Amino acid sequence: MKISLLKKFKNKTIIVTGHTGFKGSWLCLWLISLGARVIGVSDKIISKPSNFEVNFIKNKIIDYRFNLKNKNKIKTIISKYKPDFIFHLAAQSLVKKSYIFPSDTFESNAIGTLNLLNSVKEL
């Protein structure tokens, strides 16, 4: 990646959904190292060990815990911080869990994404 592209994140406010997951936690670390202000939104930590916990990411960002199915909360966060960028990585991605709870998986992934997009559109 070109240096000029990386500078685009310096001093920017960025929301990362799914920030406690494997990819989301690494993205947070990269954005922090580039000088971004990171706001994380996740439901919970689902793995042990967790990169999020091992690297003390909670102490380096603004950390919110709720499911994106809660449209009022995500709308409030977007309205409060007015992010320059949003990286949407939140999802129920565990295959076994998706077989056991298909409706929950669909609601979490589809409705959560819809709530996020509508919140951005409205604000």
Residue 101 lies in a domain: yes
- Report the chain (123 residues): mean pLDDT per 10 consecutive residues: 77 97 96 97 90 94 96 96 96 81 85 94 86
Confidence (pLDDT) at 27: 97
Residue 2 lies in a domain: no
From 78, 77, 74, 88, select the one nearest 19 (Cα to Cα): 88
- Give the whole-angstrom CA distance, residue 25 versus residue 16: 9
Structure pTM? 0.90
From 80, 81, 67, 82, select the one nearest 115 (Cα to Cα): 67
CATH number of the domain residue 31 falls in: 3.40.50.720
68 touches 108 (CB < 8 A): yes
Residue 3 lies in a domain: no
Other C-beta atoms lying within 10 Å of the C-beta of residue 92: 18
Domain that holds residue 59: 8-122
How many domains does the chain fold into?
1
Confidence (pLDDT) at 86: 98
Confidence (pLDDT) at 4: 73
